[in-house]
C-alpha cells in the first residue's frame, strides 16, 4: 500500500523544488544595533518534494526546521534561493512572488502549528477560527459559511454542533484538530506541519497522527512534517531529511535511512531514541560535547566537532549534500560511501 | 527474599488543591515504595499527578494545596519518619529536604538563579548541608562535583552564569546540585523532557552511572515509556492521581494487565510498528480534574469498559503476581491487595 503510494508520487513528479535556500538572521548589539554577526539558521539548502508524499524533516532544536517551513510559506523573507511550487493550476517561486500571486499560492500552502494553545485566538469561537480563511478569501458568510465550517469539523473528528464554543472548552488534542480544520479550509495542496503533536500526550498524539495520515490519503495532500521525535518521523514519512545547524546532512527514502543511515549524525540520532523495550535497549553512540551555537557554526563539516568518524579534512573542507554512489540517496559527509553505519535494527542490543 | 524495609514507603497519599472552582484531587490514594538502591519510574500523561506526588514527598506543595491524608515513611539519618505527619517547616523535615531527599525539577530555569554564578549556588548548597565546610573546601568540592557530572573545564565553568550555558550543561549543573548533599533518594521530575535526544542520551547515562556508583535510590518521573524501559527497575503507571498498575519493568512491558498500560504501550509509534498505519489511539483525553468519571478513573476511555461495574465503584488493587498489582475489575477473582478507600471528607482548612 505505502509502496504503491510512494511509486505513484514518483510518477506525478515534484510539487516543490527548493534551490540554494538560505536565511541568515543578523545578531545586533549595542545601542546603535550594529550587526555583529549572523545566525545562519538555514544555509544553502536544496531539496525536492514529490507530489502526494510526506517528507519528514527531523533535527534537534535550533537546527532550522521551523525556519525552513516559514520560508516555504513565505512567512519569512529568504536571504537567498528559490522555492518553486508546481501547484495544480500555477507555478510560483515563493521566494520572489508578490501580492496577488503570493496570496493565491498561500491558499494552496497551509501551516499547522506546534502549540494549539497559542496558535488559536482564545477570544474567537471555533466558527470564527476555522471560518476566518473562508471569510477573508472566499467572502463566505451566513449559512454557506456555517455549513462549510461544520463539514470541516466533521472531517477532523470534532462535533459540528460545538461550533460556537471557545478554544478553552476543548482539550489539547481537540484544539489541534481545530488547527488542522483551519488549515484545510481552503482545500490546500500542501500542508506544512510544524511539530503538530509535540505538545500532546502520547495517547492523544496517536489520534492526531492517525487523523493526518487519513486526511492525506483522502485528500491527496503533500505534507512536510517537522518534528524532533524520530519515532514520529519514522511513522509518518515516505522520505526523510535530517537537519543539523542549518544544513541538510542526509536525505532519502525513510526505510533505507532507518535500515542504514549514510551520515554519522543520523546514526547518532537513531542510537539516542529511548526504546520502549527493556530487553533490547539501543547501543548508544555518545557524541562529544553539546550542539554548537548556530551563530558559530564550525568550519568544514558542521558536525566535525562531535563526529566519531572525523578525519583531518573534515575540519576545513565542507562536505556538500550529494548523491552517494548510485543509491539515489544523499548525504553530506566526505566518507558517506565508505562508512559502514548502523541502522536501528543493528543498533538494538 | 527477606523483606527489607524500603527507603520510602508511600501509603494512600492524598494531596488536594482547594481552588475557587472546587477541589482538585491531584494525588488521590497513591501507594508505592522505593526500595533501597533501586530506580523506580513513575509514568503517566500530563496532569495525572506525578509532579504533585514528588512535591508532596519533599513537603513543598504550594497553597491552596496540601497533603490531606496518608503516610510517607522515610527511613533516613534521623530514623523512620512519617513525612506526611510532619509540618513542612519542621526542622527535621528541613534537614531531610535537599540533603537526604533531593530533586531535579522539570523546569531548569526556575530551579536556578539567573543572578548568581554556578559556583555561588553550589557552594551555598554545600555549606548548608555541611556547616564545618570552609569556603575554599566548598569550592574544591564544587569543582569535583561539576567534573563528576561531566562538565568540561569545571574550573572555568564554576564562574559562569546560568544563561551562558547550553541546555545540556544546565541540566548537568542541576544534577550536580541535586547530588551535592549525597542524597539517599534522588527524585528526578522529567529531567530530560526539555532537551534534545543526543543530550538526553548523555543525561540518562549520567544518572544511571551515578546510581550505580553511589548506590543512590531514585524516583524517576517521565511521560516517556522508552525512558522508563531504559532506566527503571520498578514501574508505577499513574492515572488521575492514583496507581493504575505497578510491577517490575519486565512485568509492565511484557505482561501489562491494566487496559490503560496496554493502551499506552500500543499508542506509541516505533520499531515493530508498520509506518503509515493506523495507531491504536486511546479515545478522548485525560478528564478535566473537576470532572472525574464515577467509578474507575479510566472508565470513560477504556476499551474494556463494563457498564454497571466500572462506573459503579473504584476498583480495588488486585494482585497479578508476586511483583505486580493492578487496579482494574478485569482482574476480579484475583487476590485483593487493598480495597479501594473512598476519598476523605475534607475542606480547605482541614
Ligand atoms: N527571528 C529570528 N531572529 C533571530 N534568530 C532566529 C529567528 N528565528 C529563528 N532564529 C534562530 O535560527 C535558528 C534555527 O531556529 P528554528 O528554525 O526555530 O529551529 P528548529 O525549529 O529546528 O528548532 C535558531 O538558532 C534560532 O535561534
Ligand atoms: N498549584 C496548583 N493549583 C491547582 N491545581 C494544581 C496545582 N498544581 C497542580 N494542580 C493540578 O493537579 C493535577 C496534577 O498535576 P501535576 O502533578 O502537575 O501533573 P503531572 O506532573 O503528572 O503532569 C493537575 O490536574 C493540575 O492541574
Ligand atoms: S564529513 Fe567528517 S566530520 Fe562530517 S560527518 Fe563525515 S566523517 Fe564526520
Ligand atoms: Mg521548531
Ligand atoms: Mg509534571
Answer yes or no: are the C-beta atoms of B88 and B129 closer than 8 Å.
no
The DSSP annotation for A164-206 comes to T--GGGS-HHHHHHHHHHHHHTT--SEEEEESTTTTS-HHHHH
**Which residues, numbered 155 to 214 in chain A, qualify as contacts with chain B under a Cβ-Cβ cut-off of 8 Å?**
171-174, 201-207, 209-210, 213-214
DSSP for residue A163: T
pLDDT of residue B350: 59
Q: Choose among A214, A231, A272: nearest Cβ to B270.
A: A231
Atom number, ligand 3, closest to the C-alpha of residue A334 = 1
Query: What's the gap in Å between B268 CA and the centre of ligand 5?
Result: 20
Please state, in angstroms and rounded to a whole number, the distance separating the CA atoms of residues A256 and A234.
Answer: 11
> Residue B58 in 3-state DSSP?
helix
- Does any domain span residue B233? yes
Query: What's the gap in Å between A239 CA and the centre of ligand 3?
Result: 22
Indicate whether A183 pLDDT > 60: yes
Answer yes or no: are the C-beta atoms of A71 and A226 closer than 8 Å.
no
Indicate whether B234 pLDDT > 80: yes
pLDDT of residue A6: 52
| Residue to probe by mutation, ligand 1, list A33, A57, A67, most atoms within 8 Å of CB | A67
Find the CATH number of the domain harbouring B233.
3.40.50.300
DSSP percent split of chain A into helix, strand, coil, nearest 5: 35, 25, 40
- Does any domain span residue B76? yes
B156 contacts: CB under 8 Å, gap ≥ 6: none
Indicate whether B39 pLDDT > 50: yes
Query: Which structural domain range is residue B239 located in?
Result: 8-100+183-270+278-338
Chain B residues with CB inside 8 Å of A172's CB? 285
- Does any domain span residue B145? no
Indicate whether A257 pLDDT > 70: yes
Helix (H) or strand (E) holding B96: helix B91-96
Please report, to the nearest 10 degrees, the dihedral formed by the alpha carbons of residues A214, A219, A220, A222 taken in order: -80
Atom number, ligand 3, closest to the C-alpha of residue A307 = 8
* Alpha helix ranges (H) inside B105-166: 108-111, 118-129, 135-148, 154-157
Confidence band of A97 (pLDDT split at 50, 70, 90): very high
A95 min Cα distance to partner chain B (Å): 31
Indicate whether A286 pLDDT > 50: yes
Query: What's the gap in Å between B52 CA and the centre of ligand 2?
Result: 6
Q: Do B282 and A203 touch (CB under 8 A)?
A: yes
Query: What's the gap in Å between B108 CA and the centre of ligand 2?
Result: 18
Indicate whether B109 pLDDT > 80: no
Please state, in angstroms and rounded to a whole number, the distance separating the CA atoms of residues A343 and A303.
Answer: 19
A255 min Cα distance to partner chain B (Å): 9
Find, among A21, A35, A133, A125, the residue nearest to A79 by Cα.
A21
Weakest-pLDDT range from A1-15, A94-108, B90-104, B298-312: A1-15
- Does any domain span residue B218? yes
pLDDT of residue B147: 87
pLDDT of residue A25: 95
Confidence band of A1 (pLDDT split at 50, 70, 90): very low
> Residue A343 in 3-state DSSP?
coil
CB of residue A62 inside a 6 A radius of ligand 1: yes
Query: What's the gap in Å between A179 CA and the centre of ligand 1?
Result: 23
Q: What total of structural domains would you count in chain B?
A: 1
Answer yes or no: are the C-beta atoms of B335 and B325 closer than 8 Å.
no
Find, among B95, B117, B107, B104, the residue nearest to B177 by Cα.
B104
For chain B, give the percent of residues with pLDDT over 90. Answer: 63
pLDDT of residue B343: 79
Question: In whole angstroms, what separates CA A25 from the centre of its chain?
Answer: 20
A346 touches chain B (CB under 8 A): no
Tally Cβ neighbours within 10 Å of residue A182.
25
| Average pLDDT of the residues in B162-170 | 82
Indicate whether A346 pLDDT > 80: yes
B312 min Cα distance to partner chain A (Å): 25
- Does any domain span residue B143? no
B64 φ/ψ angles, rounded to the nearest 5 degrees: -90, 30
- Does any domain span residue B153? no
Indicate whether B1 pLDDT > 80: no
Cβ-Cβ pairs closer than 8 A, A with B, add up to: 139
Indicate whether B82 pLDDT > 80: yes
Weakest-pLDDT range from A33-42, A54-63, B109-118, B248-257: B109-118
> Residue A320 in 3-state DSSP?
coil
Q: Give residue-wise pLDDT tens across range A3-54.
A: 555 555 445 799 999 999 999 999 888 888 888 889 999 999 999 999 999 9
> Residue A111 in 3-state DSSP?
strand
pLDDT of residue A278: 93
Q: Do A275 and B166 touch (CB under 8 A)?
A: no
Indicate whether B299 pLDDT > 80: yes
| Average pLDDT of the residues in B122-147 | 87
Atom number, ligand 3, closest to the C-alpha of residue A263 = 5
As a whole number, the mean pLDDT across chain B is 91
Confidence band of B91 (pLDDT split at 50, 70, 90): very high
**Which residues, numbered 210 to 239 in chain A, qualify as contacts with chain B under a Cβ-Cβ cut-off of 8 Å?**
210, 213-214, 228, 230-232, 234-238
- Does any domain span residue B198? yes
**B110 or B74, which is more confident:** B74
Q: Give residue-wise pLDDT tens across range A203-255.
A: 889 999 999 999 999 999 999 999 999 999 999 999 999 999 999 999 999 99
In terms of pTM, does the model score above 0.95? no
Chain B residues with CB inside 8 Å of A1's CB? 276
pLDDT of residue A59: 93
Indicate whether B170 pLDDT > 60: yes
Q: Give residue-wise pLDDT tens across range A295-332.
A: 889 999 999 999 999 999 999 999 999 999 999 999 99
**Cα-based angle A280, A283, A286 (whole degrees, multiple of 5):** 145
Indicate whether B346 pLDDT > 90: no
Indicate whether B178 pLDDT > 70: yes
* Alpha helix ranges (H) inside B130-246: 135-148, 154-157, 167-179, 197-214, 225-231
Instruction: Identify the sign of the CA torsion B94, B99, B104, B108.
Output: positive
CB of residue B26 inside a 6 A radius of ligand 2: yes
Cis peptide, bond prior to residue B43, ω within 30 of zero: no
ipTM of the complex model: 0.87
| Residue to probe by mutation, ligand 3, list A263, A335, A340, A341, most atoms within 8 Å of CB | A335
Indicate whether A336 pLDDT > 90: yes
Indicate whether A127 pLDDT > 90: yes
Find, among B64, B162, B157, B158, the residue nearest to B110 by Cα.
B162
- Does any domain span residue B80? yes
Q: Do B281 and A206 touch (CB under 8 A)?
A: yes
CB of residue A329 inside a 6 A radius of ligand 3: no
Amino acid at each position: 500500500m505505502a509502496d504503491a503510494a510512494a511509486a505513484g508520487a514518483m510518477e506525478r513528479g515534484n510539487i516543490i523544488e527548493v534551490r540554494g535556500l538560505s536565511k541568515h538572521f543578523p545578531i545586533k548589539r549595542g545601542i546603535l544595533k550594529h550587526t555583529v554577526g549572523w545566525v545562519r539558521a538555514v544555509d544553502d539548502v536544496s531539496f525536492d518534494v514529490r507530489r502526494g508524499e510526506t517528507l519528514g524533516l527531523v533535527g534537534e532544536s535550533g537546527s532550522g526546521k521551523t525556519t525552513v517551513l516559514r520560508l516555504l510559506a513565505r512567512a519569512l523573507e529568504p536571504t537567498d534561493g528559490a522555492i518553486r511550487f508546481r501547484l495544480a493550476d500555477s507555478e510560483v517561486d515563493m521566494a520572489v512572488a508578490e501580492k496577488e500571486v503570493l496570496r493565491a499560492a498561500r491558499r494552496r500552502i497551509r501551516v499547522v502549528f506546534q502549540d494549539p494553545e497559542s496558535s488559536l485566538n482564545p477570544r474567537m469561537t471555533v466558527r470564527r477560527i476555522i471560518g476566518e480563511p473562508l471569510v477573508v478569501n472566499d467572502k463566505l458568510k451566513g449559512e454557506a459559511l456555517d455549513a462549510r465550517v461544520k463539514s470541516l469539523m466533521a472531517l477532523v473528528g470534532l462535533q459540528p454542533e460545538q461550533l460556537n464554543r471557545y478554544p478553552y472548552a476543548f482539550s489539547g488534542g481537540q484544539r489541534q484538530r481545530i488547527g488542522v480544520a483551519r488549515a484545510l479550509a481552503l482545500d490546500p495542496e500542501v500542508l506544512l506541519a510544524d511539530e503538530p503533536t509535540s505538545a500532546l500526550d502520547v495517547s492523544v498524539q496517536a489520534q492526531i497522527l492517525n487523523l493526518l495520515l487519513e486526511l492525506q490519503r483522502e485528500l491527496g495532500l503533500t505534507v512536510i512534517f517537522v518534528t524532533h521525535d524520530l519515532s514520529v518521523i519514522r511513522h509518518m514519512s515516505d522520505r526523510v531529511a535530517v537537519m543539523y545547524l542549518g544544513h541538510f546532512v542526509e536525505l532519502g527514502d525513510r526505510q533505507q535511512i532507518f535500515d542504514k543511515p549514510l551520515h554519522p549524525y543520523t546514526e547518532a540520532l537513531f542510537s539516542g531514541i529511548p526504546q520502549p523495550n527493556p530487553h533490547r535497549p539501543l547501543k548508544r553512540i555518545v557524541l562529544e560535547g553539546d550542539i554548537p551555537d548556530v551563530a558559530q557554526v564550525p568550519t568544514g563539516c558542521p558536525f566535525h566537532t562531535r563526529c566519531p568518524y572525523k578525519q583531518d579534512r573534515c575540519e576545513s573542507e565542507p562536505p556538500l549534500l550529494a548523491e552517494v554512489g548510485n543509491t539515489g540517496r544523499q548525504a553530506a559527509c566526505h566518507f558517506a560511501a565508505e562508512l559502514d553505519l548502523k541502522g536501528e535494527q543493528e543498533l538494538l542490543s | 527474599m527477606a523483606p527489607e524495609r524500603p527507603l520510602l514507603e508511600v501509603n494512600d497519599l492524598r494531596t488536594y488543591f482547594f481552588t475557587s472552582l472546587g477541589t482538585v484531587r491531584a494525588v488521590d490514594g497513591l501507594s508505592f515504595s522505593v526500595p533501597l538502591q533501586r530506580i523506580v519510574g513513575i509514568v503517566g500523561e500530563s496532569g495525572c499527578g506525578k509532579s504533585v506526588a514528588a512535591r508532596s514527598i519533599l513537603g513543598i506543595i504550594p497553597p491552596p494545596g496540601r497533603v490531606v491524608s496518608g503516610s510517607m515513611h522515610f527511613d533516613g539519618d534521623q530514623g523512620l519518619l512519617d513525612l506526611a505527619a510532619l509540618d513542612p517547616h519542621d526542622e527535621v523535615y528541613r534537614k531531610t529536604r535537599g540533603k537526604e531527599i533531593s530533586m531535579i525539577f522539570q523546569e531548569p530555569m526556575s530551579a536556578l538563579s539567573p543572578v548568581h554564578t554556578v559556583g555561588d549556588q553550589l557552594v551555598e548548597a554545600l555549606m548548608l548541608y555541611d556547616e564545618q565546610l570552609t569556603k575554599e573546601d566548598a569550592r574544591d568540592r564544587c569543582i569535583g562535583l561539576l567534573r563528576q557530572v561531566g562538565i568540561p573545564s569545571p574550573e572555568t565553568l564554576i564562574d559562569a552564569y546560568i544563561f551562558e550555558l547550553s541546555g545540556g550543561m544546565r541540566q548537568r549543573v542541576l544534577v550536580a546540585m541535586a547530588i551535592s548533599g549525597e542524597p539517599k533518594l534522588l527524585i528526578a521530575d522529567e529531567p530530560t523532557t526539555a532537551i534534545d535526544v543526543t543530550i538526553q542520551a548523555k543525561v540518562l547515562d549520567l544518572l544511571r552511572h551515578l546510581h550505580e556508583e553511589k548506590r543512590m535510590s531514585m524516583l524517576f518521573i517521565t511521560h516517556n515509556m522508552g525512558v522508563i524501559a531504559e532506566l527503571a527497575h520498578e514501574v508505577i503507571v499513574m492515572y488521575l492521581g492514583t496507581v493504575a498498575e505497578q510491577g517490575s519493568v519486565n512485568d509492565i512491558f511484557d505482561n501489562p494487565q491494566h487496559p490503560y498500560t496496554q493502551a499506552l504501550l500500543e499508542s506509541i509509534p516505533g520499531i515493530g510498528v508498520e509506518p503509515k498505519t493506523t495507531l491504536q489511539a486511546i479515545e478522548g483525553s485525560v478528564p478535566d480534574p473537576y470532572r472525574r468519571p464515577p467509578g474507575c478513573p479510566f472508565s470513560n476511555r477504556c476499551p474494556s469498559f463494563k457498564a454497571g461495574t466500572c462506573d459503579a465503584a473504584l476498583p480495588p488493587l488486585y494482585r497479578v503476581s508476586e511483583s505486580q498489582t493492578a487496579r482494574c475489575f478485569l482482574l476480579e477473582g484475583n487476590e485483593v491487595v487493598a480495597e479501594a478507600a473512598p476519598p476523605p471528607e475534607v475542606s480547605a482548612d482541614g
